[in-house]
Structure 1
Amino acid sequence: MFWDSAAPYLAAFLLAAVGCFWGAHRARSFEAPVIRRPLTLLLVLTGTWALTVVPTLLSVPRIVMYASYVFGLGVGISTVVVWLWFCSAYAGHAYHLDRRLQFVAAGLVGAILALKATNPLHGAYFEPTVASDPFVHFAPEAGPLYWTITALAYVGSGVGLYLLFETYHESTLDTTNVAVLTVAIGLPVAPKLLSAWWPESLLLLYYEPIGAAVFAVGVVTVARERFMAVHVPARRQLPDQLPDLLFLTDADGRVVDYNESAECVFPDLPERVGDPFSAIAPRVADAEDATVELDRDGDARSYRIDRRRITLGEEAIGRAVVLSDVTELEARRRSLQQQTEHVRSVSEAIAHELRNPIAIVLGNLRVLEEEIDAADAIESGPLERHNRRIGAAIEAAERIDVVTDDFIDILRYGTPIAETSERPLESVLSDAWPDDTTALTLEGVADTGVVADGTRCVELFRLLFRLHRERGATSVRVRRDGTDALVVDSDGEPFSTDTPEQLFRYGREAGEDSRVLLANAWTLSTLHGWSIAAPEGDRLSIRLTDVSLR
């Protein structure tokens, strides 16, 4: 026997208890509650576990030895569960928040405690004996359940060690001192196995509190700063460098993780891990729009909300909420909206100023035409020539009126598109078609949505339909071809041009009725990011590609 008296054992376990309790006290000053809580509880339990060994080494009544030993067994298995909680939280995992794992752990610990408490009935865990060599101490004879549960506890402890060393490995920091301290936790396995294999060398005791004490003293003193810095694993260091606010919630909507940017806007996040996201950020959770305004360092900032489900196979296990700062973009959007409103007001003013004189000209010309017609009925001759000139002037004025409307429309709709939404394509085509729908045929567009500016998309198809009708079409067809392009064709007169790529440029098409329509259709399609062309063939055909169809 290496030690022939109880003094070295008592000194080792008492120092371990003191080290654990002192470490627990120092750990309470750690800022991160996700680490502080499990570490503090782990060290308190381990210190208590060390104290339960002391009565088994003293010459006290057997019942005291037995009660202290059994109590230590219960504290020991509970320590393993808290150890796994600490390792999961330190490594940035959410295993400790999983309700199913919590129930499994509680059930397993309850079953083990029951087996230990009922040992006097089945005797499969240990046989209580008191030995006097080399000194009086409690020396239970371990049964099969003892070694089975001990092996299970070591497996659990090994899983925790794996999570810690994985974190150290993935970290970009120097983790040497923290890793050495973590190795100390596992070293007590050696004297435990040695005492089982060579009973004459050491007493068969739980030496684990000694290793935990070394770890506790180390991480709250010499390795404190590095321990807290490394606790953010490498896979989280990149999210922490992102300017976006990142929240991770479990299937129940409780926050399990976040990045530093999120903590800047929500300073109480470290204290509220595990709380519902709707309670931490109610404005974000309840936001119906895609953007929300939040206060950051005293400044109002606009954030775009992006919610993504996190799945494992087909099962949803959580959700990621990302808030991207779009303050500058939102400011530009609002400025663009103001400019658009300004353009619209100007276009309406221009329309008013142009239409009024044109209306006066047309009105007077028609009155004059009626008077000449009346006079021409009495006396023919020069009046007939004047009548033809007046008729030409009326047609020109009417043409000016139509072209003015077209230019006003393109001025109104030609500003950049700020927002789009999805709308059923059939509804868009129905709104754009002004006449009886019997002359309009739809193919392959059922249950199809189009992502666009709703008003301008309707205007685009209205122009295309009008173009077909003005070129003599009696029926128009809209179809979705195999390449997801939209084709608007009819029995109207096809275009004949040597430069089809220039057809939609204003002034390229000689026909007055088509010139402005083609240019306006090109503008509206280009604003959406779509391409427009007029393929050659026997039928009049307009083809839209790159359309956002759903």
Structure 2
Amino acid sequence: MLVSLQTTAAFASYLAVFSLAGIASLAAAVRASRIDNAEIRAGLVWLLLTTGAWGLLQAGLFATSGPVRRFAYTAGLVVGFATVGAWLYFVSAYTNRGYHRNARVRRAAVVVFLVVSAAKVTNGLGLHTLYFTTKQSTTPFAHLAIEFGPLHWLVTGLSYSLATTALFALLDMYVRAGYDTRPVWVLTVVVGLPATLDVLGAILPGVVDASYAPIGITAFGVFALYVYEQRFVTAPETDGDAAVFLDVDNKVRDYTAAAGRLFSGLAGARGRPLSAVLPQVAKAADNETVVGRQVDDEDRYYMVSETSVELGEAEQRVLILSDVTVTERRRRELARHN
């Protein structure tokens, strides 16, 4: 009786985790569809849609039987590989690398996807066993056990290498934007953890052979869009500049490290009106003029420009202070001579 309960609990847990991951990813895709930047929006929406489909197909692997189960697994392999492409496109757009716009890179990506997908589908149809073989297993519950072939490990190694490179590109973006990068490191662990489970599933009988990546990617999407949304959306806008984020009432919501170094008055200013904290910046923002500051005993000048970002119901103004010291000094020198 106890064994039966444990088996049922294990089955229910796997089914629930992958189903919830799929549903949560699809819900996050709806939220991501409201991001202003078209390229970032396209990459993130497709990433979350493919991840959601992948998670649900993994759930189908446990909930179905017979040929349908094998189809669910094979379809999951194809959709999962498409997720890698969506992830790389999103990161390239988000960090403004430009690879997603390169026609040669895009053509090469399509060719690789078609070749790898063909290998997966033909394996699923039983034409070869280079990617995977299947057998029935009863541990920890009755399921279709997968034994991975050499093609699987080759493609998996390539996929995780590319995904890891993209993660470090994201980290570099946050460093340049002047943000606390600890959440990104945590996110790196969360996204990469499924790779460990994939390996354990191949060697430990108590861990089901499955693709656990949808769980990590869903965690990324939910974390970025619901927990860390303000910095996530605004990081590409600031890209290392001093920036102050305001709500619709012109109250300070946040600021980058560069802005904090430039204006010590921002410390503890969250929730206060900008006009009370930095009246000179507030005035310059209204007129799009230059503000002067002494930095290391040197007069420096910053152009205050404004942009806005929107995600779902959240909308905010972003004041970006760009260093225009050289230009302003030259303008003032010319003005003196005239």
Q: How does 1:193-208 map to 2 (within 5 A)?
A: 193-198=199-204, 200-208=205-213
Secondary structure (helix, strand or coil) at the match of 1:103 reads helix
Give 1:183's match in structure 2, choosing from 179, 189, 192. 189
Describe the SS at the equivalent of 1:6: helix
In the TM superposition, what whole-angstrom CA distance separates every residue of 1:336-394 from its partner, at most 9, and x where no partner exists? Answer: 9xxxxxxxxxxxxxxxxxxxxxxxxxxxxxxxxxxxxxxxxxxxxxxxxxxxxxxxxxx
The reply to whether residue 66 of structure 1 matches residue 70 of structure 2 is yes
Partner residue, 2:57: 52
**1:173 paired to 2:203:** no
Q: CA deviation at 1:90?
A: 1.0
Does the 8 Å contact 1:56/1:65 carry over to 2? yes
> Structure 1, residues 410-450: CA drift from partner, whole Å, max 9, x if none?
xxxxxxxxxxxxxxxxxxxxxxxxxxxxxxxxxxxxxxxxx
Structure 1 outlier segments of 4+, above 4 Å: 235-238, 260-264
Structure 2: distance between partners of 1:127 and 1:215: 31
Give the distance between the partners of 1:261 and 1:197, measured in 2 at CA. 58
1:31 aligns with 2:20: no
Provide the C-alpha distance between the structure 2 equivalents of 1:59 and 1:118, rounded to a whole number of angstroms: 21
Q: Do the aligned partners of 1:92 and 1:233 also contact (CA within 8 Å) in 2?
A: no
Whether contact under 8 Å (2:51, 2:83) holds in the other structure is yes
Aligned to 1:124: 130
Shift of residue 233, structure 1, vs aligned partner: 6.5
Tell me the amino acid that sits aligned with residue 197 of structure 2. P
- Per the alignment, residue 99 of structure 1 pairs with 103
| Maintained 8 Å contact 2:23/2:52 | yes
Which residue of 125, 130, 144 corresponds with 2:150? 144
Q: Which has the higher contact order (CA 8 A, sep 6+)?
A: 2
Three-state SS of the structure 2 residue aligned to 1:231 is: helix
Contact 1:59 1:136 (C-alpha < 8 Å) held by counterparts: no
Q: Would the alpha carbon gap of residues 35 and 182 (structure 1) be closer, same or farther in structure 2, given more than 3 Å must change? A: farther
For residues 143-173 of structure 1, the C-alpha deviation after alignment (integer angstroms, 9 at most, x for no partner) is 1111111111111111211211121222212
TM-score normalised per structure 2: 0.66
SS of residue paired to 2:127: helix
Give the secondary structure class of the aligned counterpart of 1:129: strand
Q: What residue in structure 1 maps to residue 218 of structure 2?
A: 213
Q: Distance in 2 between matches of 1:79 and 1:237?
A: 34
Distance in 2, matches of 1:69 and 1:113, equals: 13
CA distance in 1, matches of 2:81, 2:149: 17
Distance in structure 2 (CA, Å) of the matches to 1:153 and 1:222: 27
Deviates most, 75-84 or 157-166: 157-166
Cα deviation, 1:115-153, whole Å, max 9, x if unaligned, reads 111212221111132323332211122111111111111
What root-mean-square deviation, in Å, do the aligned CA atoms of Structure 1 and Structure 2 show?
A: 3.1
- 2:161 equivalent in structure 1: 155
Q: Structure 1's 183 and 30: CA in aligned 2 closer, same or farther, altered over 3 A?
A: farther
Q: Which stretch of the first structure deviates more once superposed, 44-53 or 180-189?
A: 180-189
Map 1:40-439 onto structure 2 (within 5 A).
Answer: 40-60=45-65, 62-119=66-123, 120-198=126-204, 200-232=205-237, 234=239
The answer on whether the counterparts of 1:23 and 1:217 sit within 8 Å (CA) in structure 2 is yes
SS at match of 1:216: helix
Indicate the residue corresponding to 2:315 in structure 1: none
- Asked if the contact 1:167–1:233 (Cα under 8 Å) also holds between the matched residues in 2, the reply is no
CA drift of 1:236 comes to: 7.0
> Residues 64, 92 of structure 1: CA spacing in aligned structure 2 closer, same or farther, 3 A cutoff?
same
Unaligned segments of structure 2, at least 5 residues? 244-258, 260-287, 289-302, 309-326
1:72 is displaced (CA, Å) by: 0.4
Corresponding letter in the other structure for 1:125: Y
Displacement, 1:59?
Answer: 4.8
Q: 1:133 to 1:202 in 2, by over 3 A?
A: closer
Deviations 1:439-470, CA, capped at 9 Å, x for gaps: xxxxxxxxxxxxxxxxxxxxxxxxxxxxxxxx
| Aligned residues between the structures | 250
Query: Whole-Å Cα distance in 2 between the matches of residues 208 and 76 of structure 1?
Result: 8
In the superposition, relative to structure 1, how do residues 108 and 237 fare at CA in structure 2: closer, same or farther (>3 Å)?
farther
Taking the aligned partners of 2:211 and 2:26, their CA distance within structure 1 comes to: 18
CA contact 1:52–1:71 (8 Å) conserved in 2: yes
Counterpart CA distance in 1 for 2:92 and 2:32 is 17
Q: Which amino acid aligns with 2:62?
A: L
Q: Percent identity?
A: 33
One-letter amino acid matched to 2:105: L
The normalised TM-score by structure 1 is 0.42
Q: Residues 210 and 58 (structure 1 numbering): CA distance in 2 closer, same or farther, change over 3 Å?
A: same
Instruction: In structure 1, give the amino acid aligned to 2:228.
Output: A
Task: Tell me, yes or no, if the aligned pair for 2:51 and 2:80 is still in contact at 8 Å.
Answer: yes
Larger radius of gyration: 1
Q: Deviations over 1:235-294 (max 9, x none)?
A: 6779xx9x9xxxxxxxxxxxxxxxx99998xx9xxxxxxxxxxxxxxxxxxxxxxxxxxx
Q: 1:168, 1:233 within 8 Å by CA — same for their partners in 2?
A: no
- Find the aligned partners of 1:164 and 1:133 in 2 and give their Cα distance: 39
> 2:318 aligns to what?
none
Letter of the 1:197 partner, please give it: I
Greater per-residue helix proportion: 2
SS at match of 1:220: helix
